Structure 1
Amino acid sequence: MTAESVKHRVQWPVPPQDGYTVDDLFTLPDLPRHTELIDGSLVFVSPQRYFRYAMIHLLAHGLRSTLPPDLKVVCEMTVVLDRRNGPEPDISVIRAEALTDRRQTHFKAADVLLAVEVVSPDSEARDRDYKPHKYAAAGIPHYWLVDMAGQDDHPVVQVYERGEATGTYALTGIHHDHVKVSVPYDIDIDLAAIDQY
């Protein structure tokens, strides 16, 4: 090993015996952007596909177009679910009063009405399995899972709603061309508009 290779080594933090907490997530120095905390483990984001970028912008714009004044749309902000879980949904619809400061770095699960995840190759299992389970357990009433389908890689949005009796999500619709729903508010998004981003 040369002095040059030692000089460029990354010093990764050593996890505590019981795993990290959300306090650690917000105070550990030099974490890469968009680091998430899942079950006490830090999760780093790998390079993303253009599809993810375009869908986040398309959906955020569409969600804002009919947004009631008591709600806000935020992208890639940490949502604290509990002491050991601080995921970062691609998009969240939050209560406007939850935004208290422009330096704010996170929101509480109780302030989130909708969490949206756009599937990436490195996050597929988390987006399909872990995160929906955790979002539902934390009481977030709505969840959207966005993926590509078909030979043309067109967007597909799966819409889920949390059942109060079960505390789990149930699929309420699969949208290929248009997302038109009435909860958590009236939303109408043309998915074909992805080509504009």
Structure 2
Amino acid sequence: MSVAVSDHLGPWTVDDVLALPEDTRHRIELVGGVLLMSPNPGVPHQRISSRLWALLDAAIVAADAPFEVLEAVNVLVPDGLLIPDLVIADAAATAGAGATLHADDVVVAVEIASPSTKVIDRRTKPGLYAAAGVPHYWRLDLDPAPRLHLGRLAPGGGGYLDRTVEPGGSTALTEPFPFDLDPAALRR
């Protein structure tokens, strides 16, 4: 039986969130027993997400890398449930996945900052992904022009070492697979 958000008492659990009726207007994430609700992304956000997905998928195929890129899937982290805009995950793990992926199976979590999510994407989620051991956290800021922040988990954990790629720049990544992108190309 599903429970309405307004009828729930006490802290939320992952099982509580997964039992909610499907909501096509909001993304519902869970951090520390508290729900984080944000509106579903708008068209400009989704256009860029789709373009980035296609570029990442092509790079994975070209490298014959054992990964799959997915949009907006539930990822279990020690403190709850997150829904990154994109994930690059172990293909063997995604083949058998149901409603969720474990953070252990995620190689890259990608967030595209929107007005309603930018503070959480910049301040909260990097710490949650790092604590879960996700090796890479990428954040794409769209305004005033696309900038891609590439985070790699610091040795020993504790956060991400960041590098920012400005419009006109190049990612020139070799890990977790070769990938080269000028963020400005996402807004054509």
Answer whether TM exceeds 0.5 for this pair.
yes
Cα distance in 2, alignment partners of residues 88 and 130 from structure 1: 13
Query: 1:111 aligns to what?
Result: 105
How well do the aligned residues superpose, as a CA RMSD in angstroms?
A: 2.0
Letter in 2 for 1:99: T
Query: 1:127 aligns to what?
Result: 121
Letter in 1 for 2:68: K
Equivalences for residues 156-195 of structure 1 within 5 A: 156-177=147-168, 178-195=170-187
Residue 38 of structure 2 corresponds to residue 45 of structure 1: yes
Structure 2 CA distance for partners of 1:142 and 1:100, relative to 1, 3 Å: same
In structure 2, runs of 5+ residues without a counterpart are none
Letter in 1 for 2:131: A
Cα distance in 2, alignment partners of residues 110 and 190 from structure 1: 29
Cα distance in 1, alignment partners of residues 146 and 44 from structure 2: 9
Query: 2:50 aligns to what?
Result: 57
Q: TM-score, normalised by structure 1?
A: 0.82
Query: 1:95 aligns to what?
Result: 90
Letter in 2 for 1:179: T
Task: For residues 116-148 of structure 1, give each alpha carbon's deviation from its aligned partner in whole angstroms, at most 9, with x where no partner exists.
Answer: 001111111110010000000000000111112
Q: TM-score, normalised by structure 2?
A: 0.85
**Percent identity for Structure 1 against Structure 2:** 27
Structure 2 CA distance for partners of 1:70 and 1:194, relative to 1, 3 Å: same
Structure 2 CA distance for partners of 1:182 and 1:91, relative to 1, 3 Å: same
Q: CA deviation at 1:195?
A: 4.0
Equivalences for residues 147-158 of structure 1 within 5 A: 147-149=141-143, 153-158=144-149
Letter in 1 for 2:28: T
Cα distance in 1, alignment partners of residues 171 and 131 from structure 2: 25
